[in-house]
Amino acid sequence: MDPAVLIFLLYGMIAHELLCGWMQYRRQSGAPPRRTAGPLLRSRAQVCHGVWSGSSIRSVRLDRGGRDLRKSGRIILTHERGKPSGPAARRPTPVRTISGPAPHLPHLAGSFLGYRGDPVPHGPMTANLTETEHTSSSWPLIVFSELRDSQLSKQQSDAISRCPLWRGAAFVTPHGSFLSASSMASVSLSSGLNKAVRQQYMSLPQGGKSQVTYIWIDGTGEGLRNKTRTLDTEPSSLDDIPEWNFDGSSTYQSEGSNSDMYLSPVRMFRDPFSLDPNKLVLCEVLKYNRIPAETNHRAACNKVMEQVKEHCIWFGMEQEYTLLGIDGRPYSWPANGFPLPQGPFYCAVGADHAYGRDIVECHYKACLYAGITIYGTNAEVMPSQWEYQVGTCEGIEMGDQLWVSRFLLHRVCEDFGVVASLDPKPMKGNWNGAGCHTNVSTKLMREEGGLQ
Query: Taking the domains of the chain in order of start, what are their residue ranges?
Result: 191-295, 311-446
Domain 191-295, architecture per CATH: Roll (3.10)
Tell me the β-bridge partners of 385.
322
Residues 399, 316 contacting (CB under 8 angstroms): no
Residues 38, 91 contacting (CB under 8 angstroms): no
Fold of 311-446: Creatine Kinase; Chain A, domain 2 (3.30.590)
C-alpha 400/C-alpha 262 separation (Å) is 18
C-alpha 330/C-alpha 361 separation (Å) is 18
C-alpha 298/C-alpha 285 separation (Å) is 9
Q: What are phi and psi of 219, to 5 degrees?
A: -70, -15
318-357: buried (b, 16+ CB within 10 Å) or exposed (e) per residue? bbbbbbbbeeebbbbbbeeeebeeeeebbebeebbbbbbe
Q: What is the pLDDT along the chain (452 residues), one digit of tens a residue?
A: 677 777 878 888 888 888 887 777 666 555 444 433 233 322 322 222 222 222 322 233 333 333 333 333 333 333 333 334 444 443 333 333 333 333 333 333 333 333 333 333 333 223 333 223 222 223 334 433 333 333 445 554 554 444 433 333 444 333 334 444 444 547 888 888 888 898 899 999 999 999 999 999 999 999 999 999 999 999 999 999 999 999 999 999 998 888 999 999 999 999 999 999 999 999 999 999 999 999 999 999 999 999 999 999 999 999 999 999 998 999 988 877 788 888 999 999 999 899 999 999 999 999 999 999 999 999 999 999 999 999 899 999 999 999 999 999 999 999 999 999 999 999 988 899 999 999 999 999 999 888 77
List helix spans (H) across 140-266: 154-162, 181-185, 195-202
C-alpha 167/C-alpha 181 separation (Å) is 6
pTM value? 0.64
How buried is 83 (Cβ within 10 angstroms: 0-12 exposed, 13-18 middle, 19+ buried)?
exposed
